Structure 1
Amino acid sequence: MNSWLTVAAVLLPIAGGILIPILPFRRRIHMEWYIEALVIATSVLVWCLLLHRPEELVLLRFTDQIVFTLRIDGLGTVFAGLISVLWPLAILYSYEYMTHEERERPFFMFYTATFGVTLGIAFAGNILTMYFFYELLTLVTIPLVIHTFTRDAVLAARKYIYFSMGGAAFGFIAVVFLLYYGGNTEFVLGGFLGSLPGGLNFNLVLAVFVIGFIGFSVKAAMFPFYSWLPDAGAAPTPVTALLHAVAVVKAGAFAVIRLTYYCFGTEMLIGTWAQKLVLSLAMFTIVFGCSMAVRETHLKRRLAFSTVSNLSYIIFGAAIMTTAGLAGALCHMVFHAIMKISAFFCSGAIMHQTDHHFIPDMDGFGRKMPWVYGAFTVSALGMMGVPGCCGFISKWLLAEAAIGAGTVWTWIGVAALLISALLTAIYMMTFVVRGFFPGKDFDYEKLRDVRDPNWKMILPLAVFSIAIVGFGLYSTPLTEFLSRVAAGLI
């Protein structure tokens, strides 16, 4: 295929999104058709590119080292394929949700443009290009976080800016280091840094790696830079689902994997104090996020702390620094996206239909909203790691990789995974049980106006639920593909 089609896939949703406030739509449904057609066309183009990979495209060349390139490799295929499948469903869901919100056109402009920016991160051919789109992702999502302009939204957006820019500054230190000492900065599985560069002190190289790792992991909400994510729940639910399941947090995890496996290289890092430090941070975050979710009564904030925990599953897998660890991390990246976007869309449907936000106020809703609560139950079982759901597969692969690494640190990680599974069962199933079984004396008459939303919200939830169970029962082709990507065979 023509390499310029890669640019087209990135620019199509950005340019098409910019036109949304300008085009003279006579009716709202015309805008919906335009946006859905735009997003589906982009997803179709992305899949054509993934199936027929074009050659690398050099967009700008400032020096031999400072080059902007787009290239589709195995890791980029996983990320781009994931977001191109989820985005059309997210757009469909948002039509119904945004009917009660103001400033729809600016919302959909930034929401659609974010698709293209995220594709830019997936298709980046080197660390500098990825960093450019990584920063652009922050800028294009700020208006989404602040969309309602409530006090909570303004404070959340301010914190999001501080954390994102601060983390990016840390990441930039690693980028400059790699540009100066790495020579050719194109992503190569195994790393392009090679042996100790320029006679530098080895501990200095490890320190730069840790700084970059922590900087990029800010978007993945790893401890101690996690608090922006629960606060971002002040944004509309389609935005929080975007932040928590698809684009922003996954971009952080994706960047961490790029830095570890495709820049520094695990051969240099494995067994060092740097590996032990990032493993410790990931393991602590896994348990910490679950613990915070158990004590949280606001539904979206509870799910946000769940994301804090589950994103560190991916970071933990990457920090194992083995092929099996990377395969497990990629598997959880895909499956967590499906499970968590379903859970957030369920919470958004409940809030949209009832205007209730706290779990104690939602007793008995399960029998009045069976489709929404049924989908939430499926996602809850998946995140708990119940066999038959896709979450079991990814957690099994992560545990298997940790045991296979055979170190004390990775065995501690297995214990963290088990503790997390227990706490996840508590904070997810508590909500489900209260929804379906509020008690014998519960007065259902006061819930007479509570009902499931229309098909625009139900259809994505049904698709996600089928995917959670489907991949749980038969995921071999996907896991084999991800293992080949982790091994550098794709």
Structure 2
Amino acid sequence: MREVMMLIVVLLPIFTGILLPLLSFRSKRAMWIYLEAAVCANSALVCRLLVAAPEKALTVFRFTHDLSITLRLDGPGAVFAGLVAFLWPFAMLYAFEYMEKEENPGPFFLFYTATYGVTLGVALSENILTMYFFFEMLSLVTLPLVMHTRTREAILASRAYLYYMLGGAAFAFIGMIFVLVYGTTSSFVPGGVLDMANILEKKDTLLLVYVLCFGGFSVKTAMWPFSSWLPKASVAPTPVTALLHAVAVVNTGAFAVMRVTYYSFGTGLLKGTWAQRVVMGLVVFTIVYGCSRAVKETHFKRRLAWSTVSNLSYILFGVTLMTPLGMTGALAHLVFHSFMKICSFLCAGAVMHQTDRNYVHELDGLGHRMPRVFLCFTVAALALMGVPGLCGFVSKWHLAKAAVECGEPLAYAGVAALLLSALLTAIYMIGIVVRAFFPKGDFDYGTIEDVREPGWRMLVPLLVFAALIVCFGLRSGPVIKMLEAVAFGAM
């Protein structure tokens, strides 16, 4: 029964969304109750799975002897699934108020809810074929969300999103084929699945394929030179961008890279090779590049999008260290960055929803009219900087510690990139806070007299996420201990 529950948590949100146009609701409130109840019920089922994990895998469909769509809950999958299950109900609650004035919200929530199930499919994938299947399905279900407003800017952004995702899929497909041909199994196995006795003469070829596969899956993390789609996608409604930039798409890309590095190709083949240096070099460059673009960006959400470009490469940096400590740091930042970034994006969305102001220079004085929103934003901003006492410091500390113990020259360069990134993050995040709370002396407060805080459906998620950023910063021990168990193969 527990094995079947894995399939249920994947399909329940998908069918909840599909049934939405077929059901007749007497009011939007009835629709909200239906959606929130379904999402909360699914999250409860995921929690039940995490407490009593099934011992066996569940094969949903078998193509051949070793090619199948199979679900299994292991350590990394449990971390990702638990994160998604916690964040989605709050994001859904926020979306109700954000989309309240929308005349026809049905199509939006159809894909928004289905994305939950598809993301869980990636988390629960037992083998590389299953992960690739859900990985590409995720591109399809999120594409309508990016183009939701149907403006010219949204159409262009959705085209760029589609082109990048298709290109990334092609390179990831190459990697999958080589794993299937030269691996002993298609399943994810700690240490990798390649048959080392049969690949000695093809080692350089497989290293090249790994680099291509890394790049293909990293398109979703917006690693340079595949970064431009992510800021463009911020044209989507904020509930979409918050999940795109914090959970559903970008973290899925990082999770997939983690899987193929540690569980398919294996660090025994990759560590110390030119392939490791190539991918680590790209990641270190992206950390600084994303922050630099964020400093120059004047649009509120696009600035946060460039911040995501940088921070997702923190996770990839931990992966490219190819050590258990590196994986611990990567998992820690995957979890903590999700809370920091979803909080900051939802704050930005609340400001834009309440004031219709989209640019940083338009935020002067708003902290006095929306103190709760900007207090939550300040907490997220300080955490992204890496201020001690907040969760961002914890994950950055573990990444830096892993890099120093790795001993690679590029790993030391990565530590320098982390420090430079912290400085640049302070510039582009605290600059927003200063404008909001301390406008210029001649600022006319009469221009913001009508600005009000958003309703409780927006405020509750913000306050919860800000509180957790602090709690994880002060009491990160249990979380880090669990992540270490996953990274060292004890879970």
On whether the aligned pair clears a TM of 0.5, the verdict is yes
Contact (CA 8 Å) 2:2, 2:53: kept in 1 or not? Answer: no
**Structure-2 residue corresponding to 1:10:** 10
Please give the alpha-carbon distance, in whole angstroms, between the structure 1 residues aligned to 2:60 and 2:435.
Answer: 55
Please give the alpha-carbon distance, in whole angstroms, between the structure 2 residues aligned to 1:384 and 1:265.
Answer: 32
**Structure-2 residue corresponding to 1:148:** 149
Please give the alpha-carbon distance, in whole angstroms, between the structure 2 residues aligned to 1:303 and 1:434.
Answer: 16
Q: Does 1:27 align with 2:27?
A: yes
Q: Structure 2 stretches of 5 or more lacking a match? A: none
Contact (CA 8 Å) 2:2, 2:49: kept in 1 or not? Answer: no
1:68 partner SS: strand
**Structure-1 residue corresponding to 2:45:** 45
**Structure-2 residue corresponding to 1:381:** 382
1:193 partner SS: coil
Deviation at 1:185, TM superposition (A): 1.1
Distance 1:102 1:273, change over 3 A: farther
User: 1:3-41 CA distances to partner (integer Å, 9 max, x unpaired)?
Assistant: 111101100000011111111110111100000000000
Q: Where do 1:421-460 residues align within 5 Å?
A: 421-460=422-461
The residue identity in structure 2 corresponding to 1:421 is A
1:80 partner SS: helix
**Structure-2 residue corresponding to 1:203:** 204
Q: Where do 1:412-423 residues align within 5 Å?
A: 412-423=413-424
The residue identity in structure 1 corresponding to 2:37 is A
Deviation at 1:111, TM superposition (A): 0.2
**Structure-2 residue corresponding to 1:139:** 140
Q: Does 1:354 align with 2:347?
A: no
**Structure-2 residue corresponding to 1:469:** 470
Please give the alpha-carbon distance, in whole angstroms, between the structure 2 residues aligned to 1:446 and 1:222.
Answer: 40
Contact (CA 8 Å) 1:292, 1:305: kept in 2 or not? Answer: yes
The residue identity in structure 2 corresponding to 1:276 is R
1:201 partner SS: helix
Deviation at 1:196, TM superposition (A): 5.3
**Structure-1 residue corresponding to 2:86:** 85
Please give the alpha-carbon distance, in whole angstroms, between the structure 2 residues aligned to 1:419 and 1:153.
Answer: 33
User: 1:465-484 CA distances to partner (integer Å, 9 max, x unpaired)?
Assistant: 00000000001000000000
Please give the alpha-carbon distance, in whole angstroms, between the structure 2 residues aligned to 1:483 and 1:194.
Answer: 27
**Structure-1 residue corresponding to 2:255:** 254
Q: Does 1:366 align with 2:367?
A: yes
Give the % identical residues: 58
User: 1:322-343 CA distances to partner (integer Å, 9 max, x unpaired)?
Assistant: 0000000000000000000000
1:414 partner SS: helix
**Structure-1 residue corresponding to 2:102:** 101
2:22 partner SS: coil
Deviation at 1:103, TM superposition (A): 2.9
Q: Does 1:189 align with 2:190?
A: yes
The residue identity in structure 1 corresponding to 2:156 is L
Deviation at 1:58, TM superposition (A): 1.2
1:356 partner SS: coil
Deviation at 1:200, TM superposition (A): 3.6
Q: RMSD between aligned alpha carbons?
A: 0.8
Please give the alpha-carbon distance, in whole angstroms, between the structure 1 residues aligned to 2:197 and 2:70.
Answer: 26
**Structure-2 residue corresponding to 1:279:** 280
Deviation at 1:198, TM superposition (A): 4.4
**Structure-1 residue corresponding to 2:162:** 161
Deviation at 1:356, TM superposition (A): 0.6
2:490 partner SS: coil
Contact (CA 8 Å) 2:13, 2:116: kept in 1 or not? Answer: yes
User: Which moves more between the two structures, 181-190 or 471-480?
Assistant: 181-190
**Structure-2 residue corresponding to 1:235:** 236
Q: Where do 1:214-363 residues align within 5 Å?
A: 214-363=215-364
Query: Aligned residue pairs: how many?
Result: 490
Please give the alpha-carbon distance, in whole angstroms, between the structure 1 residues aligned to 2:396 and 2:45.
Answer: 32
User: Which moves more between the two structures, 224-233 or 56-65?
Assistant: 56-65
The residue identity in structure 2 corresponding to 1:105 is G
Please give the alpha-carbon distance, in whole angstroms, between the structure 1 residues aligned to 2:184 and 2:266.
Answer: 14
- Which consecutive aligned stretches of 4+ in structure 1 deviate over 4 angstroms post-superposition? none
Please give the alpha-carbon distance, in whole angstroms, between the structure 2 residues aligned to 1:367 and 1:65.
Answer: 61
**Structure-2 residue corresponding to 1:57:** 58
